[in-house]
């Protein structure tokens, strides 16, 4: 179907490169194949992009390998300046990037602009980190030797990103890889290749040397990424996506003992204690639940609310959710866009039906609208049973599932923490309380990589983002982010005594 999107967005989409990017040039797939990129709000096709295969993958990786030594030898300051320039270009082109992002994945334009600011900030952060790669110098206990600890780029990296934050998930990996001096092969998600291709063009414009970043879009990720993973020539894989694919890549990485960073799925608990400021907690859940229409690894998946405040919390949340404007993310005033694809909307509908089958009550929403687009309405469920499937899987949609805890004689904290930790995932947990001791206990005992106390947002380029348990390995952003792309080397040197 031909797109009937507004001409300005159509013009912007028309300017986005649609080929593969290898050795500093835009090239079609070796096979000449392309695949369609659709708008989830209208179900219309926006454009087609190159459909890379194993041949393209090999060429891209060979290029990254060939350029690694020269790139590693560049000065930290020159790499830093490329990142600063790219940061500024992204900011200057905010509206254009946001329009592309909204068209291909659905989030409302204000959220897309927010992601542009967030995503760009990783480049500014790692521009600052590029010139601060440190080392260490000590003397052995017997005084006979120097220990000189240095850091070197790990080598050619495989970067694989999901569709839900099409810009930021790319900059969070490309930024530190550039800063550290690593060359890259990059495969963005097949649902959202356009934002990644626009980002690639910005890096080219910012002066990134040929061959440092090589991008292969494909409708067959298993083949392209599999080619890279089993080549024995990449030294690192940085993956953001589902735990299922992450486990597959970890298995492949074992073949060449490749370094891995894994940012995987979550099942975030959101705990509202008896002493919580309920208004603030509702503000927090609106962010933790509704950012990106609930399609975030950090999305609050299980909302545990103390029985003494559950009615106030539920009523206020339902009022806020009912008042949200659902529609095409590119339209003025839209607050909730479509889900990314039909499969996603079907999954959310199935989870709600299953929860209702287990005794949950629908307070608002729960009914899919007719017509084009993969829409699902903001929905609040209460009395959710621990056996319901949505307690054990990422909802990835605008559905708030409320579970009561505690009672008149109990703050229920033991129960809430036990329920929160009863999952194989451990990315983030949120808690609302005004009691310092409770906040301390929750911060310590939640089995997660990140905790939000009285806030529904933990993502920040200056913070180490990442999870424990099946939510992943390693950290992105913050002071630790660049370490993922550096190997430590220690040099022993005798100290001359004469
Ligand atoms: P996904 O795992 O299906 O896809 C992620 C990427 O992996 C895509 O680029 C995809 O093409 C690629 N891929 C798919 N199959 C592959 C295979 N066999 N071999 C190699 N690559 C393959 O995940 P998604 O649906 O794009 O994203 C949603 C998931 O990502 C959720 O689970 C979410 O929690 C997670 N996520 C995690 C973080 C985090 O930082 N922890 C951030 C965003 C999203």
Query: Mind listing the pLDDT tens digit for each residue in 84-143?
Result: 999 999 999 999 999 999 999 999 999 999 999 999 999 999 999 999 999 999 999 999
Shared domain for 34 and 18, answered yes or no, is: yes
Is 430 within a domain? yes
365 lines ligand 1 (CB under 6 A): no
Q: State the Cα–Cα distance between residues 257 and 255, nearest whole angstrom.
A: 6
Shared domain for 233 and 299, answered yes or no, is: no
What is the number of residues in the chain? Answer: 498
221 lines ligand 1 (CB under 6 A): yes
- Residue 213 bridge partners (DSSP): 184
Could you list the residue range(s) of the whole structural domain that residue 334 is in? 268-460
To test ligand 1's pocket by mutation, which of 51, 191, 242, 299 has the most ligand atoms within 8 angstroms of CB? 242
**% of the chain beyond a pLDDT of 90:** 98
Residue 287 has phi, psi (to 5 degrees) of -80, -50
Query: In the prediction, which pLDDT does 84 show?
Result: 98
Alpha carbon 446 to its chain centroid, in Å, reads 21
**% of the chain beyond a pLDDT of 70:** 98
245 lines ligand 1 (CB under 6 A): yes
Shared domain for 242 and 164, answered yes or no, is: yes
Query: pLDDT per residue over 221-239, tens digit each?
Result: 999 999 999 999 999 999 9
Please state the rounded mean pLDDT for residues 150-176.
98
Q: State the Cα–Cα distance between residues 74 and 412, nearest whole angstrom.
A: 57
Which atom of ligand 1 is nearest the CA belonging to 471?
41
Shared domain for 46 and 109, answered yes or no, is: yes
Shared domain for 163 and 21, answered yes or no, is: yes
Is 494 within a domain? no
218 lines ligand 1 (CB under 6 A): no
Residue 38 in tokens: 């659709």
Ligand 1 centroid to Cα of residue 162, in Å, is 5
**Distance (Å) of CA 121 to CA 91, 175, 275, 312, 361:** 9, 9, 36, 38, 41
Which atom of ligand 1 is nearest the CA belonging to 165?
43
Residue 348 sits in a domain whose CATH number is 3.40.309.10
262: DSSP letter: E
Shared domain for 228 and 127, answered yes or no, is: yes
Shared domain for 234 and 342, answered yes or no, is: no
Ligand 1 centroid to Cα of residue 180, in Å, is 24
Is 417 within a domain? yes
Query: In the prediction, which pLDDT does 496 show?
Result: 82
Q: At 83, is the secondary structure helix, strand, or coil? A: helix
Q: State the Cα–Cα distance between residues 94 and 484, nearest whole angstrom.
A: 28
Please state the rounded mean pLDDT for residues 234-248.
98
Shared domain for 197 and 288, answered yes or no, is: no
At which residue do the structure tokens 């300051």 appear?
Answer: 77
pLDDT at 1 over 60: no
164 lines ligand 1 (CB under 6 A): yes
pLDDT at 3 over 70: no
To test ligand 1's pocket by mutation, which of 107, 162, 234, 394 has the most ligand atoms within 8 angstroms of CB? 162
Shared domain for 255 and 272, answered yes or no, is: no
Query: pLDDT per residue over 23-50, tens digit each?
Result: 999 999 999 999 999 999 999 999 999 9
191 lines ligand 1 (CB under 6 A): no
Which atom of ligand 1 is nearest the CA belonging to 218?
11
Query: pLDDT per residue over 407-419, tens digit each?
Result: 999 999 999 999 9
Instruction: Please say if 297 is a catalytic residue.
Output: yes
Shared domain for 356 and 292, answered yes or no, is: yes
Shared domain for 309 and 450, answered yes or no, is: yes
Instruction: Report the mean per-residue pLDDT for the chain.
Output: 97
Is 100 within a domain? yes
Query: In the prediction, which pLDDT does 4 show?
Result: 52
Q: What is the pTM of this model?
A: 0.97
Q: At 54, is the secondary structure helix, strand, or coil? A: helix
Alpha carbon 91 to its chain centroid, in Å, reads 20
Q: How many domains does the chain have?
A: 2
Residue 16 has phi, psi (to 5 degrees) of -75, 130
Please state the rounded mean pLDDT for residues 458-482.
98
162 lines ligand 1 (CB under 6 A): yes
Which atom of ligand 1 is nearest the CA belonging to 161?
9
- Catalytic residue (choose from 129, 297, 470, 476): 297
Instruction: Please say if 157 is a catalytic residue.
Output: no
Query: pLDDT per residue over 347-392, tens digit each?
Result: 999 999 999 999 999 999 999 999 999 999 999 999 999 999 999 9
Residue 107 in tokens: 């989030």
- Catalytic residue (choose from 96, 121, 263, 483): 263
Please state the rounded mean pLDDT for residues 300-323.
98
pLDDT level of residue 8 (50, 70, 90 thresholds) = confident
Query: In the prediction, which pLDDT does 445 show?
Result: 98
Is 492 within a domain? no
Element containing residue 362 per DSSP (H, E): strand 361-364
Q: State the Cα–Cα distance between residues 142 and 319, nearest whole angstrom.
A: 70
Which atom of ligand 1 is nearest the CA belonging to 187?
9
pLDDT at 5 over 60: no
Q: Are 100 and 198 in contact (CB under 8 A)?
A: yes
Ligand 1 centroid to Cα of residue 486, in Å, is 24
Alpha carbon 57 to its chain centroid, in Å, reads 23
Is 448 within a domain? yes
Ligand 1 centroid to Cα of residue 370, in Å, is 29
- Where residue 134 falls (left for φ over 0; alpha for ψ -120 to 50; beta otherwise) is beta
Is 466 within a domain? no
- Residue 138 bridge partners (DSSP): 147
Residue 182 in tokens: 């690593």
Shared domain for 301 and 154, answered yes or no, is: no
pLDDT level of residue 478 (50, 70, 90 thresholds) = very high
Is 324 within a domain? yes
Please state the rounded mean pLDDT for residues 411-436.
98
Q: Crossing angle for the helix pair 94-105 and 193-205, nearest 10 degrees?
A: 160
Least trusted range by pLDDT, from 3-7, 19-23, 73-77: 3-7
Element containing residue 228 per DSSP (H, E): helix 221-229
Residue 79 sits in a domain whose CATH number is 3.40.605.10
Ligand 1 centroid to Cα of residue 240, in Å, is 6
Query: pLDDT per residue over 250-296, tens digit each?
Result: 999 999 999 999 999 999 999 999 999 999 999 999 999 999 999 99
């Amino acid at each position: 179907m031909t797109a009937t999107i507004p001409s300005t967005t159509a013009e912007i989409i028309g300017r986005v490169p649609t080929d593969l990017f290898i050795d500093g040039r835009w090239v079609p797939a070796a096979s000449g194949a392309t695949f369609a990129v659709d708008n989830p709000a209208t179900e219309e096709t926006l454009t087609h992009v190159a459909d890379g295969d194993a041949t393209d993958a090999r060429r891209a990786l060979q290029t990254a390998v060939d350029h690694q030594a020269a790139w590693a030898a560049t000065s930290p300051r020159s790499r830093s300046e490329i990142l600063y320039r790219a940061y500024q270009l992204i900011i200057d082109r905010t509206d254009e990037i946001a329009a592309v992002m909204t068209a291909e994945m659905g989030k409302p334009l204000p959220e897309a602009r927010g992601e542009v600011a967030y995503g760009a900030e990783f480049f500014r952060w790692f521009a600052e980190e590029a010139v601060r790669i440190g080392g260490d110098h000590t003397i052995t206990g017997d005084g006979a030797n120097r220990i000189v600890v240095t850091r070197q780029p790990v080598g050619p990296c495989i970067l694989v990103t999901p569709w839900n934050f099409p810009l930021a998930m790319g900059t969070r990996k490309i930024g530190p890889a550039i800063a550290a001096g690593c060359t890259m092969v990059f495969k963005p998600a097949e649902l959202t290749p356009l934002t990644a291709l626009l980002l690639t063009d910005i890096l080219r414009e910012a002066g990134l040397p040929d061959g440092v970043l090589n991008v292969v879009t494909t409708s067959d990720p298993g083949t392209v990424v599999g080619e890279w993973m089993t080549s024995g020539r990449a030294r690192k894989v940085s993956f953001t996506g589902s735990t299922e694919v992450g486990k597959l890549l970890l298995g492949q990485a074992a073949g060449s003992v490749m370094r891995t960073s894994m940012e995987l799925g979550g099942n975030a608990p959101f705990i509202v204690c008896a002493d919580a400021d309920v208004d603030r907690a509702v503000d927090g859940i609106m962010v933790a639940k509704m950012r990106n229409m609930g399609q975030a690894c950090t999305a609050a998946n299980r909302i545990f609310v103390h029985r003494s405040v559950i009615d106030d919390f539920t009523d206020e949340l339902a009022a806020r959710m009912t008042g949200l404007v659902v529609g095409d993310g590119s339209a003025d005033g839209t607050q909730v866009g479509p889900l990314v694809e039909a499969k996603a909307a079907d999954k959310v509908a199935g989870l709600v039906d299953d929860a209702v089958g287990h005794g949950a009550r629908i307070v608002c929403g729960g009914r899919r609208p007719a017509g084009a687009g993969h829409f699902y309405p903001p929905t609040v469920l209460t009395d959710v049973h621990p056996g319901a499937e949505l307690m054990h899987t990422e909802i990835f949609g605008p559905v708030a599932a409320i579970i009561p805890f505690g009672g008149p004689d109990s703050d229920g904290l033991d129960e809430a923490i036990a329920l929160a930790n009863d999952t194989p995932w451990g990315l983030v947990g949120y808690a609302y309380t005004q009691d310092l001791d409770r906040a301390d206990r929750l911060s310590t005992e939640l089995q997660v990589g990140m905790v939000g106390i009285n806030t529904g947002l933990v993502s920040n380029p200056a913070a180490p983002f990442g999870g424990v348990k099946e939510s992943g390995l390693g950290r992105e952003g913050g002071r630790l982010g660049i370490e993922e792309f550096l190997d430590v080397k220690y040099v022993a040197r005798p100290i001359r005594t004469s």
